[in-house]
Amino acid sequence: MAGLPGQAMGYDRAITIFSPEGKLYQVEYAFEAVRKGWTSLGVKTKGTVVLLSEKKYVTKLMELDSIEKVFSVDDHIGVTFAGFGSDGRVLIDYARLVSIRHKLLYGDPITVEYLTKHVADVKHQYTQYGGVRPFGVSMIFGGVDPDGTPRLLRTEPGGQYIGYQAIAIGMGAQSANEYLEKHYNYELGKDETIELAFKAMIYSMQQRNENIKELTEENFDAGIALVETGKFRKLSKEEIKEILSRLIS
């Protein structure tokens, strides 16, 4: 019995060793890093894909403008994440390279799922070798495929990726996902899809006892992809401000 604590510590420290329960503890800890990250979410309807993330002041002297949580990967694909920001930044840079190489090699834009798979494969590799650690970040890729199909996929720290109609990750994921499950409708139009995303985010903030009356456009980063245009773009501060003025009275 005296050897059990040491054995448990060995499973805890080694990325390549499964515990008797069939777990890789370092991957479990990476999931915990995601759960403690700022909330991000994605919503996909028949004509629109929305990516949305919250931004918070860690100190009053911080400039929220210097923080980006929704990124453009290609003309037709965007991404957001929850977890370690540095891990997210590195994987987004990698995703951009994959997208450019695919276009140069094949002459066509990459599909959202194929790009997501490349990123998920890299994440999986970092769960198989000693001397490395898993990426402590989950990512939501959203966009419009070259054939006009809207797509929304999430990658996990262990390397798995799954498609969703709507999904939230981060510290407010549980309440945001509950809201999305109750109010989601695939037939929603562009404006209704954007409002659903913001309402789910605001609801999750309320459940964490945050003062939504103090929220401004500085507290959000958002982007949309439209089937009509086949393009992804970031929402401007003016657009976010207008949305908040309708939702928060």
Q: CB of 225 within 8 A of CB of 232?
A: yes
Identify the pLDDT of residue 9. Answer: 57
Q: Give pLDDT tens digits for 93-151.
A: 999 999 999 999 999 999 999 999 999 999 999 999 888 899 999 999 999 999 999 99
Please give the pLDDT value at position 163: 98
- pLDDT 10s digits, 146-171: 999 999 999 999 999 999 999 999 99
Tell me how far apart the alpha carbons of residues 134 and 25 are, in angstroms, rounded to a whole number: 10
d(CA 229, CA 153): 20
Is there a contact between 194 and 173 (Cβ–Cβ < 8 Å)? no
pLDDT at 130: 82
CB 226 within 8 A of CB 47: yes
Structural domains of the chain ordered from first start: 22-247 (3.60.20.10)
Checking if the pLDDT of 6 tops 50, the result is no
Question: What band does 11 get if pLDDT is binned at 50, 70 and 90?
Answer: low
